[in-house]
Amino acid sequence: MSRNSAALVAALALCASFVATPAPAGEPDSTNHHHHGVNVRGDRAMGFSHAATTHHFILRADGGVIQVTANDEADTASQSMIHAHLAHITQRFSEGDFNLPMFIHGKVPPGVAAMKQLKNQISYHFEPIESGGRVTIRTRNARALVAIHDFLRFQIQDHKTGDPLEVLVPQPE
């Protein structure tokens, strides 16, 4: 086998290891199999465990929020990786690059095409918070807002976070 062929075989094997995710015991249906795959690919891509962290996706009137925290406030390793990951996606999303969520979910999430096209109409801001971090997504463009909400709703459903699928209006204090 030539060096190029060996390199190609090695690269394909590596790609297969990221995509091939066997169904866990006791979870034979395709929904649980898909969710397990999202978690396995997500852990690899993000650098921290879904089991050790909590994800939230929040719809707001002007966009939304992606928030991740370590479940254990003493877990500084996860917190550091959360900061790195969220800072990274802030930069990539600002550039219209949504390859990471497409890899994690195994498909193009709803809203991505419009978010790419309208990238100059959307702002992304990362900030560290206690035990993790958040990315705030904002726009004044109505079409971009629909796309952001579609993207976040998909994240809520695919990650099974239980977050509300509608924009919550803050209650007066």
Q: What is the mean pLDDT of residues 37-57?
A: 69
Alpha-carbon dihedral angle through residues 141, 144, 145, 151, given to the nearest 10 degrees: -170
What lies within 8 Å, CB to CB, of 145 at 6+ separation is 62, 63, 139
Reduce the DSSP state of residue 92 to 3 states and report it.
Answer: helix
Q: Out of 29-33, 73-77, 152-156, which region has the weakest mean confidence (pLDDT)?
A: 29-33
User: What is the residue whose two structure tokens read 């977050």?
Assistant: 163
Q: What is the mean pLDDT of residues 139-167?
A: 95
pTM (two decimals): 0.74
